Amino acid sequence: MSKHEQELISELSEENAMLKSKLEYQGQAMPEPITRMELIEIAEVHAAEVGFDVYGEGGMIEQLESAYITKFPTYITGGPGYFGPVYLILWDGSPDYVSVVREEHIVGQSEKDRVRKLIITHYGDF
């Protein structure tokens, strides 16, 4: 192997190490698919909010199944603030219709006393 080939391999190894390090750092924020139970939970909250049926033809579950949904399980804001899962819903009607779903956190409430309550914020012309 020539010296030039060894230098190229060394450079590639360094680049791979940097990329791996970057991915490991960002790994806490990597999105993942949601579970069926999470879909149903989001559907129930959203349906109650807009007055839709959860189940059945044209119901909220059917609408969510046609949307693009991803979950960031360990989202943390840059400063003191929110921590926990965040769901992004990109509705099929337009890429301009987006909803963000997060848990409500009550300051001072202990983890064992916390009841999971989802908050949905919509962006775009709904």
- Nearest to residue 87, comparing CAs of 47, 124, 40, 42? 42
- Find how far residue 5's CA is from the centre of its chain: 43
pLDDT per residue of the chain (126 residues) written in tens, 0 to 9: 677 666 656 666 666 665 555 555 555 567 889 999 999 999 999 999 888 899 988 899 999 999 999 998 888 777 767 778 899 999 988 888 999 999 876 656 666 666 678 888 889 876
User: 45: exposed, middle or buried (C-beta count within 10 Å: 0-12, 13-18, 19+)?
Assistant: middle
What pTM was computed for the model? 0.69
